[in-house]
Each structure stands twice: as structure tokens, then as C-alpha cells.
Amino acid sequence: MQTVDIDVAVVPVAGLGTRLLPATKSQPKEMLPVGRKPVVQYVVEELTRVGIHQILFITGRRKASIENHFDMDHALIQLLREQGKEELLAQLEFERAPVQYFYTRQRRQLGLGHAVLHARHFVGQRPFVVALGDSIIGLHAQSRVIERMKEVFVDQDADAVIAFETVPPHEVDKYGIARPRGDGTIFPLEDVVEKPSPEEAPSNLAIAARYIFSPRIFDALERTGFGAGGEIQLTDAIRLLIQEGGNVYGIRLAPGERRYDIGNFPSYFRAFVEFALADDLYGPDLRAYLQGLLHT
């Protein structure tokens, strides 16, 4: 039984985001706003809420604005203070989160698995969370799924725990798909397949952008070749881990814990509208406006 607390997370943000061009030509997709905040701020808020104290971003070219976003902007704070803009100052509270940020660059975008491998030296022998920087879990990131994943990781003495959500059968070819044992909320994972066709898919449970790993994943990643899309796939390394006797569990997102994937326009548009509609101040007005639009 492991007793160590899991307080370190790796957030890959190095992807090129080509599906969101031209919006992502010179800015990271992880900095696109969803409602009031950039995507990656929701991810960090989710992580800090569940006890993460160190975050390593795997960044790349054109991603410097992420580092700037989490830096303390003393000049801006001073200016807002002088102008007496207390309500705007409150919007910078996230800068004070009790978390230490680290950054390293993935110099060639060879896939998510390749990005995670960059964390090996930093992570060392500790278990760690991986949270994709382009996905929010739950409206306004109110999910505590990582907390539940930590419990499963410790209780089952696991090598990996992965979050899953049900997707429509025609969308299984966009995700890593589980072969679960049983139909429980928490289940041993028998296999996982990257982007299967609907005919080949072992279920319609898709990996939902959150993982906890023991450092054993790095050995698997080292031996994982190029897979779907010519990239080193994290899913393939998880598959290898299972094949080699690794103890890997899946956990389903709870009903109120949808994954908002900001990596493509249809799902980004939906997320933006949903978050904006839920905005305490501006949501009601937007709702009336949209109702007007839809009924003309």
C-alpha cells in the first residue's frame, strides 16, 4: 500500500493545435478563453483544488503566453490598486495559488506520449497526475475526479488510474477507448485502444484527459514506437503497461462532470456558450439574447 500523497502534476501544452487554425497560428489553444478565463487556468484551478503543489508544463514554441499568464504581474496589480479597481484585482487572485510552476520544452511535437516522457527527470520516483491543458472537466472546472482517482490509485496500489467518459459510438475514432472489466464506476482496465473504428471499438468509454501514473509509465513510454498519426501515443504506453502485468484502473466521470475538449471548433464553441451562459453576471443577458436570435 502506498502512503505517499500525490501533489505533482504534468500539464502537456505543446501540441500545435492545427485543428483550431487560424485562431492558434500565433497563440496557444490552451490560452483561448472559455467564458472569462483561458482554458489552462481552469485546468490549474482544478489541480490546485485537489492538492497539487507542483505543476510541470510541457510547452513548445509559441507557448510563452502560458508562462506569462501564471507569473505575478506586479505592475498591473499596482496600477489596479492605484485606480481603486478592487473588483478587477480580484480577477488576479489566481496568481497567488499555492503552487510552484515549472516549464520544459518539447522541441519536436512527436505526440502526447513523447510530451509526457519529458517529465521523467522532474517526476523521479513519485506518482503524478497528467492533466491535458486543452480540456476542462466539469462546468467551470468544478470536478474533483482527480481526488477520487488518487483514492483508487492508493487503495488498489495501482500503476495507473485513468478517467473515462461515455461518447457517442460514431466518436470513438477520436479518442483512446477502454476495454473495461465489468460495468462499475471504477473498473480494472483490460486494454485501451487509440482511435479505433466504431466496428473495432471495445466500448464507447473514451479517455477523458486526466490520468495518474506511477513512474513505471516512463519505462513503457521509452519502449513505445510511433503509433496512430505517426505520433508516440500515451495510450499505446498504457496498453504496454497492462500487457506487462501493470495494475491499471479506469474511473467514470460523474454525471455532472463532462469533459470540455477545446481542441476542435464544434466542441470549443459549445463550451464557450455553456460557460458564458453560466456566468453569474452576464449569463442571464446572454440567454435572452440567444433566445431572441434563435427565434427570429
Interface of this chain with ligand UTP, residues 57 to 86, rule: CB under 6 A: 58
In 3D, which of 143, 164, 108, 131 has the Cα closest to residue 40?
131
Q: Whole-number minimum distance, CB 112 to ligand UTP, in Å?
A: 4
The least CB distance from residue 231 to ligand UTP, in Å, is: 6
15 counts as binding ligand UTP under rule CB under 6 A: yes
29 or 154: CB nearest ligand UTP: 29
Select from 82-90, 128-136, 240-248, 274-282 the region that touches ligand UTP (CB under 6 A). 128-136
CA atoms 114, 120, 125, 128: torsion sign: negative
Q: At its nearest, how many Å lie between ligand UTP and the CB of residue 76?
A: 27
CA 33 to centroid of chain Cα atoms: 15
CA–CA separation, 165 and 258 (whole Å) = 8
Would you list the DSSP string of 221-270?
HHT--B-GGGSB-HHHHHHHHHHTT--EEEEEPPTT--EEE-SSHHHHHH
Q: Which stretch binds ligand UTP (CB under 6 A): 1-9, 44-52, 129-137, 153-161?
A: 129-137
Site string for ligand UTP, 87-116 (x = CB under 6 A): -------------------x--xxxx-xx-
Q: Residue 235 burial by CB count (10 A; 0-12/13-18/19+): exposed, middle or buried?
A: buried
Residues that bind ligand UTP (CB under 6 A): 12-19, 58, 106, 109-112, 114-115, 132-134, 263
